[in-house]
Structure 1
């Protein structure tokens, strides 16, 4: 069993940390809102006051947070995990969906501290995290990926090793940008169907069986139809816009204009403009309705 630090106990991180505890690892946890750690402490975790304290003596340090700024908070500074005295040749595992520029900078900083760095974004919703059914997109040296495989087995049913550090992050940004485009297209399609006088319940049912039935469409179409976007928020418009912006920046850095990605980003910015970015990403359908009503 390994000594693990887990930084970030949001909807995804808390389930992942709990799975590591259940697998018998010694887990120290840190979250900026300390109350989130209480259920894990009851199950045997150790609560830390800072990321540095959590990472002290750790063999593996996981981070699972919302964006670049939160990742920097976890790793950098006097109280950051990179300031800790970890176990020799410890692993730094960044599971957050962050920008490609920051993943490269973070990898360089971690390696400069003698850590083995792995970029490890995940796919799956909070229920998958709680059940240990995530898919991991790995960017790592093969030897490091192999060494971590027994630990990853506690949190994931599939690990896809895309290549060296940065490759997992690159794939995650690509696939999330594609997901944003699909959700934006779905919202516009449903509003168009509504204007055409079609029964939206029938449209949603048909979409779930048709050629456009991507997982994003299948998941979000019933939510858009139901319309209760503030209930049971799983993935908010705020985080969808963040992922879209990071994916768009990466595409452009690769020399790809991504006009469809830019359109999706513009659509999700509507949620920020109307103050509903903390609701489910499915709220986009209402923002599209409002936008197009103003233009009529």
Structure 2
């Protein structure tokens, strides 16, 4: 996701510095004109905006904080745009760290798959003051075809966690539905085709059921089982924090724990279907 977003900023004519814990993953961006930095701090020095797209709270902390973190730079007034799916508690804490260092924080998780990131077709879920969004909008527009403001800092993350928890519930339910169809003796290809045309269909159900039918969980992995479990876990935590019911979220979390516990965290999230055969 981050590589696609950086490529869009390059294509829009911005000077882009990139950092990745695995430098080889930046090769295509460097070939396209990006400058490779050896730390988040070096990447962020003197810039107009810092964008982060990482896996979880721990990775976000490592990128932003500490002697080599992006917030250790001298970039007064720069935007700190966190696009990762993180816990709301960490987002609020990070916003305070950013403000203390003179950065203008923008809560900006995204939705869509990596091919959409590369094409600039993301949807951005923004939590920021209206005037701050207006200021940063020109930098966001190359990344997306839709920007939705949900409120102040933390609101974008709240919505993203709600959406992803609903997606986790749909993936878990799709796996159970297809396993039930198998056990009932139905032809799975026919079931998947019919599900995609019926009232229970959603983009998540259609995509997940097709991946489950294909069964090649190590190919073209767009979202791993480990990341899906992480999003489910922090989605349930977010629901708990506001006293919301999360029975289905907890059930999905329990089912989606299986692939990670079995050592399949790096495979596609839909590998959960295979574990229902054990």
**After TM superposition, is the score higher than 0.5?**
yes
**What are the residue-to-residue correspondences of 1:1-296 with 2, within 5 Å?**
12-86=1-75, 88-290=76-278
- Between the two proteins, the alignment pairs up a number of residues equal to 278
Contact 1:223–1:282, Cα closer than 8 Å, also in 2: yes
1:245-266 Cα deviation digits (max 9, x unpaired) = 0101000001123010000000
Give unmatched runs, 5+ long, in structure 1.
1-11, 291-296
Contact 1:94–1:121, Cα closer than 8 Å, also in 2: yes
Partner Cα separation in structure 1 for residue 121 and residue 243 of structure 2: 35
4+ aligned runs moved over 2 Å, structure 1: none
1:29-62 Cα deviation digits (max 9, x unpaired) = 1111111222211211111111001100011000
Q: Secondary structure at the match of 1:154?
A: helix
Partner Cα separation in structure 2 for residue 272 and residue 89 of structure 1: 41
Partner Cα separation in structure 1 for residue 97 and residue 115 of structure 2: 33
Give unmatched runs, 5+ long, in structure 2.
none
- Corresponding position of 1:4: none
Partner Cα separation in structure 1 for residue 14 and residue 54 of structure 2: 21
Partner Cα separation in structure 1 for residue 193 and residue 253 of structure 2: 27
Partner Cα separation in structure 1 for residue 74 and residue 138 of structure 2: 24
Contact 1:267–1:288, Cα closer than 8 Å, also in 2: no
Offset of 1:273 from its aligned partner? 2.1
Partner Cα separation in structure 2 for residue 164 and residue 224 of structure 1: 38
Contact 1:29–1:37, Cα closer than 8 Å, also in 2: yes
TM-score (norm 1): 0.93
